[in-house]
Amino acid sequence: MTTSGVVPQARFSAQARLRALQSDIMELILERELEAGDPLPTESELSVALGVGRNTLRESLKVLQALGVIEIRHGFGMFVAPSNFDALADGLTFRGRLSLRHQGLEALQLVDVRQALESGLIGSSMDVMTPEQLASIEEAVKQMEELAAAGENFVAADAEFHRRLFEPLNNELLINLMGVFWKVYRKIHVEIGPGNEDLKKTAAMHRSIYAAVAAGDKVSASELLNRHFDGIRRRIGEAVGD
């Protein structure tokens, strides 16, 4: 960076070239119809195929590894990585926590996205939910109620309740995204402090959601899920001084 605080154009150009190379590598994976776990061509083969030097290639490969696109196993080679949402979780966690230093915008936007997903998809999940799946949701509620009665936090049971709500959809991407959101929320909860949550009241809210689902009341289930996020929204507002 120059003394005037302006990043030289050459640096922007280098970054653009690296991003273009990363895109080229991903396109090569798609064009060759490689699947998760399949080996990639060697560095030498990639250098020739893409027309770039080995050092430049390695920089892009390291970025793609960090993004969870490829997996580098030293001594074995490079492979297409299996589904991995860790990089997404880490990025969203950082952005959410960083936003708490200001207006908390990104943290609140994460709440909005999860709220939209859950309240919007609950009806579809109810359409295909089996009696066994409904019973497993109630088991998660009972666990929360037992822990609340003992004055113990039930973060894991809470996460399991929400996972089981949408398990009937058999949507792996949705379940993975919900897992990402939980990782982010747990970090944000640590950042903003425990708050003064009433555990029994929170457990009762989950019982109400379950009851609406069990009764087949899609409208109430969606409305209750919407209200479920008011608490975290309020706590984020308090943490940033709104």
DSSP 73-114: ETTTEEEEPPP--HHHHHHHHHHHHHHTTTT-HHHHHHHHHH
Contacts of 196 (CB under 8 A, 6+ apart): none
Q: Which of 34-43, 96-105, 131-140 has the lowest mean pLDDT?
A: 96-105
**pTM as predicted:** 0.69
* Distance from C-alpha of 164 to C-alpha of 72, rounded to nearest angstrom: 34
Determine the average pLDDT of the residues in 70-99. Answer: 81
Give the best-scoring range by mean pLDDT among 5-19, 37-51, 61-75, 93-107.
37-51
Residue 1 has pLDDT above 60, yes or no: no
As a whole-number percent, the residues of the chain with pLDDT over 90 amount to 50
Render 150-211 in DSSP notation, one character per residue: TT---HHHHHHHHHHHHGGG--HHHHHHHHHHHHHHHHHHHHH--TT--HHHHHHHHHHHHH
Q: 110 CB contacts (<8 Å, ≥6 apart)?
A: 92, 96, 181, 184, 185
Distance CA 63, CA 53 (A): 16
Residue 194's pLDDT band (boundaries 50, 70, 90)?
Answer: low
DSSP at 39: B
Q: Quote the pLDDT of residue 242.
A: 54
Q: What is the mean pLDDT of residues 65-71?
A: 86
Cα–Cα distance list, 4 to 8, 13, 15, 101, 111 (Å)? 10, 19, 20, 26, 38
Cβ neighbour number for residue 184 with a 10 Å cutoff: 25
Is the pLDDT at 49 greater than 80? The verdict is yes
Q: What is the average pLDDT score of the chain?
A: 86
Instruction: Return d(Cα 27, Cα 145) in angstroms, integer.
Output: 50
* Tokens describing residue 218: 């899609």
**Integer Cα distance of 13 and 55 in angstroms:** 17
Confidence of residue 212 (pLDDT cuts 50, 70, 90): very high
For the chain, give the percent of residues with pLDDT over 70.
90
Please compute, for residue 164, the number of CA atoms within 13 A of its CA located in the half-sphere on the CB side.
22
Res 7: pLDDT? 47
The end-to-end CA distance of the chain, in Å, is 35
- Mean pLDDT, rounded, for 42-68: 91
Q: Which of 36-50, 108-122, 223-237 has the lowest mean pLDDT?
A: 223-237
15 or 115, higher pLDDT = 115
- Amino acid making up residue 24: D
Residue 168 has pLDDT above 90, yes or no: yes
Highest-pLDDT range among 89-103, 129-143, 180-194: 129-143
Range from 25-34, 68-77, 189-198 that averages highest in pLDDT? 25-34
- Residue 193's CB is within 10 A of a number of other CB atoms, namely 10
